[in-house]
Structure 1
Amino acid sequence: MVLASLAILLTLAGYATLCAISPFGACRKCDATGIRQARKGIKLCRRCHGQRYRLRAGRRLLNASRTVHRDGTR
């Protein structure tokens, strides 16, 4: 039980470090090309808007918590 808890904590710490060092990850929808094949031709990816990178979920959570903390302490 202790070993499983330690493994989960290490995994979460590793992901938090990854989000702090590299907040953007490659877009999985367009395979980081920025464009998608459509029936009528080529269009920009709707998820990344052609930027090829998206904000990681952990970084999005961190930014939201910072905003809530900042707004609550003013």
Structure 2
Amino acid sequence: MLTAMAAGFLWAGGYAVLCWAKPFAPCRKCRGLGAVERFGKPRMCPRCHGKLLRLRVGRRLHNYWRRTRDAGTAPSRPQP
């Protein structure tokens, strides 16, 4: 049980570092090519719209948390 928890924390920490260092990953639908074949013809990828990359889920959660925190925190006042 302790080994599984340690492995989970290690994985979560590694994923957090990956999201910080490389927030974008190749699109899962087109595998980073920007185009998919539909009805025998190449079309622009509907998921990434030809941008080749997508924002990782962990980075999306971090951005959401940061925006929510910033919106709910009063701005700091300068000290006289």
Q: Fold conserved (TM > 0.5)? A: yes
CA drift of 1:41 comes to 2.7
Query: Structure 2 stretches of 5 or more lacking a match?
Result: 75-80
Letter in 2 for 1:15: Y
Give the count of matched residue pairs.
74
Letter in 1 for 2:29: K
Determine what percentage of the aligned residue pairs are the same residue: 43
Query: Structure 1 stretches of 5 or more lacking a match?
Result: none
Q: 1 CA distance for matches of 2:23 and 2:11?
A: 17
- Which structure is larger by alpha-carbon Rg, 1 or 2? 2
Q: How well do the aligned residues superpose, as a CA RMSD in angstroms? A: 1.2
Look up the match of 2:2: 2
CA drift of 1:46 comes to 1.1
Letter in 2 for 1:9: F
Q: 2 CA distance for matches of 1:10 and 1:38?
A: 40
Q: TM-score, normalised by structure 1?
A: 0.92
Look up the match of 1:70: 70
Q: TM-score, normalised by structure 2?
A: 0.85
1:54 aligns to what SS in structure 2? Answer: strand
